[in-house]
Structure 1
Amino acid sequence: MVVPNQGSPIKIVSYKHDGQLHRTWQETTVLKATNSRIIGANDRTKVFESDGRTWVTREPAICFFYTKYWFNIIGMLREDGIHYYCNISSPFIYESGAVKYIDYDLDIKVFPDMTYTLLDEDEYALHRERMNYPEVLDRILWNNVSQLKQMIHQRKGPFAYEHVERWYEMFLTYRSF
């Protein structure tokens, strides 16, 4: 797989299971890219919703995308600490200057004290029925919810405070150019 260059801008594009465009983030700076993961950062980037609405992110965010896991993690740096938003999603692909994935509705919101809330189970159930998610996909997604919860409890990877801080410092060096 071709990966973007460190320091280059990319888009983030999410789709739904039926192939419909869901959401696009205009610009994210690549901090690290390998065949198995891309780490990026953005701050006050424009976001385009599939219904035509747009909005701008409010704070710096470090984004972690994986080919091994069925989730991605966004660490948002706020005054009261790091808040995480975890999307249960397909592993990413990189093409045409964009990280692309399928959003499977389930999300985990993690607070600075590492408490968390599972979100959008009703939306997941609705889309699972409407879009006819196969049973094997349902098992994969729920297994990844469990794996993500385990990472949160163990404060592994992005859930180690220093990990996000280190990537944010690197992002600031790119912004100073």
Structure 2
Amino acid sequence: MDVRTARARPGARVLLRATKYDGTAHWLQPFRVLSDDGNLLVTAYRARTPIYTSRGEFRSPYDSIVYFWRDRWYNVFRLSRPGCRTALWYCNVTTPPTFDGCQIGYIDLDLDVKVYPGGCIELLDEDEFEAHRVAYGYPEHVVANARRAAEEVARLAREHRFPFSCG
């Protein structure tokens, strides 16, 4: 199956498999597909379902709606406590994702952006990004795309544009 054209069926179960730039495992998380238009893959995650990370098992207290654009260097997790409104959006700066029909894959590039409904925007993990940029030898186009992605997420949030317009 061609990872550039594979589409997910609504209701299907898929697995997120994120790595670091050197290929080491970083994150495994199950999702249920809500929709897939060929560019934007929208998934859901239920609170307290196990997530396997490089630091061990984690169980998020949040239900999540997650937006993966195949042509963007970030994804957006809209997080809410079960039965409540959006608590925050957590945005991972990554390579554009691939999808093979069963798994979503991307390289985590360390930078994250946290957006709160009240308008507060936080850029996170700049120190980790700089350390890994050197340690893993991020090419200049990767560095430029990562920084541009963090700026784009912040701009969309400031302008209350999708996906920061829903909550």
TM-score, normalised relative to structure 1: 0.85
Contact 2:8 2:101 in 1 (8 A): no
Counterpart CA distance in 1 for 2:57 and 2:98 is 24
Q: Work out the number of aligned pairs and report it.
A: 160
Residue identity in the other structure for 1:116: I
**Following superposition, which runs of at least 4 residues in structure 1 exceed 2 angstroms of deviation?**
78-82
**Distance change in 2, residues 1:68/1:96 (3 Å):** closer
* Structure 1 position 137, deviation (Å): 1.4
1:154 to 155, 159, 162: 159
Counterpart CA distance in 1 for 2:147 and 2:156 is 14
Counterpart CA distance in 1 for 2:88 and 2:146 is 22
* Structure 2 alignment gaps of length 5 or more: none
Equivalent in the alignment of 1:89 = 94
1:65 aligns with 2:68: yes
* Structure 1 position 80, deviation (Å): 6.4
Equivalent in the alignment of 1:31 = 34
Counterpart CA distance in 2 for 1:19 and 1:34 is 28
Counterpart CA distance in 1 for 2:92 and 2:111 is 6
1:55 aligns with 2:58: yes
Contact 2:25 2:54 in 1 (8 A): yes
What fraction of aligned residue pairs are identical, expressed as a percent?
Answer: 26
Counterpart CA distance in 1 for 2:125 and 2:95 is 17
**Pairs within 5 Å for 1:1-177:** 1-25=5-29, 27-43=30-46, 44-51=48-55, 53-78=56-81, 79=84, 81-95=86-100, 97-161=102-166, 164=167
Counterpart CA distance in 2 for 1:34 and 1:91 is 16
- Higher share in helix: 1
Cα root mean square deviation, aligned: 1.4
* Structure 1 position 82, deviation (Å): 3.0
Counterpart CA distance in 2 for 1:106 and 1:126 is 11
Counterpart CA distance in 2 for 1:80 and 1:37 is 23
Decide which moves more: 94-103 or 122-131.
Answer: 94-103
Counterpart CA distance in 1 for 2:114 and 2:122 is 5
